[in-house]
Amino acid sequence: MIHVPAPDAFTIFGLPKTLDVDERLLEQRYLRLSRECHPDLNRARDTADCVAVLQRSAEINDAWQVLRDRWRRARALLELESPGALDRNKKLDPAFLADALELAEEVAFARSEQIEQLLPQLRARVAADFEALRADFARRDFDAAARRLHQAHYHQKALADLEAKA
């Protein structure tokens, strides 16, 4: 039996495999594809047809979840461009990890007046991470992109924790 890999999220939506996507176009494609697979519009003749429609609908929804989030989209694109890059680059620099731990502690113990100062700093750090990731992709340095994605996770987590406290 020949194994045919499942189509990637970009292919499902008919979009170019790029880090940046036109979000309006993405939403339009999602709505169109969702309508095409809607059960009310696809009265199945038999169980196999019903299962196929449900599988296609799940595939569309999964692709939507990936493509609408720029970080998940970056992970998906990285896996397409360099399969296994994320696994190969899990080990992060100890100095970075020490800084990440210090940041997590700062967030954990931040009082309300500190939160207001930290929020824009962390938002800027996450934005800078994405710009650096964009540069890694432009250079086609997929190992650097993988490390950057792992590092950015720490900054995103700290930001999410801080926003939850705000």
The owner of tokens 């720029």 is 70
Same domain, 18 and 59: yes
In a structure prediction context, what are the per-residue pLDDT tens digits for the chain, which is 166 residues long? 554 456 899 999 999 999 999 999 999 999 999 988 876 666 655 556 667 777 888 899 999 999 999 999 999 999 999 999 999 999 999 999 999 999 999 999 999 999 999 999 999 999 999 999 999 999 999 999 999 999 999 999 999 999 999 8
CB 150 within 8 A of CB 89: yes
Kindly provide the b/e burial profile for residues 26-52, where b requires at least 16 CB atoms within 10 angstroms of the residue's own CB: beebbeebeeebeeeebeeeeeeeeee
Task: Look at the chain and report how many structural domains it folds into.
Answer: 2
pTM of the model: 0.86
48 HSE (CA, 13 A, CB side): 0
The owner of tokens 């692709």 is 63
Same domain, 62 and 95: no
Same domain, 95 and 144: yes
Same domain, 63 and 90: no
